[in-house]
Amino acid sequence: MVHFTSVKDIGPLDQAISEAFEVKRNKFADSSLGKHRTALLIFFNSSLRTRLSTQKAAENLGMNVIVLNVQQGAWNLETRKGTIMDGDKPEHLLEAIPVMGCYADIIGVRSFARFEHKEDDYSEMILDQFIKYSGRPVISMEAATRHPLQSFADHITIEEYKTKEKPKVVLTWAPHPKALPQAVPNSFAEWMVAAGYHVIITHPRGYELDEHFTQGAEIVYDQQEAFRGADFIYAKNWAAFRDTVYGKVLNTDSSWMVDNRKMELTDNGYFMHCLPVRRNMVVTDDVLDGPRSLVIPQAANREIAAQVVIRRILKNLTQFDL
């Protein structure tokens, strides 16, 4: 593996899952693999799990880790090409990225959709510049259109808890006060279909995701019908994708919140969410605090997912000199 930006980069998923279980059994088996190697983790947006789990995973492999929060302490970075830099952004990504590449062996990048220009978001303008100009393997720590480390951790979690070969996995839109990116649902849908599960997506009309990511999943507009017989309910808010309303909150209809009454329609299903989650907007306290909630095991598996990815990249690097 060179870069990790989507499910396509990880190859056969059964192999990835067996590596995940291997890492989980002994996190320190390869604690010298990353000796004298540096991971640089760059955050253009906030993070709790990604920051902690990716740093921990790199350290389990013996790496040095540098975390850079672009909003706190670095020069404010210009990201668009061809601009006259007469504003408040003193440095361009075109210099900043190769400079970062000088100090790092692997670069992790978090850069959410900005909802300013749909083409910039959906062409992965920022992530792609890191791939082009850093000269280093790049790991997406949630980019504009995907959050593959999250989806990988979700896949590991479902493999741990499923009782059927092909579980019914339901991704449900849920209300939220702010406009949130489509990265988590895009990536989850794409990864779950690749995993061979029975995937249903439910959302109010108007919240259709980019079909590129949802191919192979069934869209059901009636949330209760979608929940019937489900083994896993994955809740997430996202803003509208369609051109004319791109990045907009179309409604905050609280009838879409996940509660125990809806969970009772499932086949004793588990509740999942990538976190952070707005209590009593997205999901009720009793579901989140209940015995079928998997949100903490999911978060724990973020470390495992990151470690599998970094380990593979490091193994690939060892063919080059330090």
Residue ranges binding ligand SN0 (CB under 6 A): 142, 147, 178, 180-181, 183-184, 274, 276, 278
Round to whole Å and give the CA distance between 280 and 222: 21
Which residues partner with 272 through β-bridges? 234
> Toward ligand SN0, which CB reaches closer, 37 or 146?
146
Q: Select the residue whose beta carbon is closest to ligand SN0 and give its number.
A: 180
Report the SS3 class of residue 237. Answer: coil
Q: How far is the CB of 313 from ligand SN0 (least distance, A)?
A: 22
Alpha carbon distances (Å) from 14 to 10, 17, 27, 231: 10, 5, 19, 20
Q: How far is the CB of 43 from ligand SN0 (least distance, A)?
A: 12
Question: What element of type H or E holds 69?
Answer: strand 64-69
Round to whole Å and give the CA distance between 160 and 143: 27
Alpha carbon distances (Å) from 83 to 75, 118, 119, 131, 295: 17, 18, 17, 21, 42
Question: What element of type H or E holds 299?
Answer: helix 295-317
User: Virtual CA dihedral for 100, 103, 105, 106, nearest 10 degrees?
Assistant: -40
> Toward ligand SN0, which CB reaches closer, 7 or 184?
184
> Toward ligand SN0, which CB reaches closer, 37 or 147?
147
> Toward ligand SN0, which CB reaches closer, 148 or 181?
181
> Toward ligand SN0, which CB reaches closer, 129 or 186?
186
> Toward ligand SN0, which CB reaches closer, 36 or 178?
178
Round to whole Å and give the CA distance between 213 and 8: 12
CA atoms within 13 A on the CB side of 222: 4
Q: How far is the CB of 178 from ligand SN0 (least distance, A)?
A: 5
Q: How far is the CB of 281 from ligand SN0 (least distance, A)?
A: 9
Q: How far is the CB of 177 from ligand SN0 (least distance, A)?
A: 7
Round to whole Å and give the CA distance between 35 and 42: 21
Q: How far is the CB of 109 from ligand SN0 (least distance, A)?
A: 14
> Toward ligand SN0, which CB reaches closer, 104 or 282?
282
Q: How far is the CB of 304 from ligand SN0 (least distance, A)?
A: 17
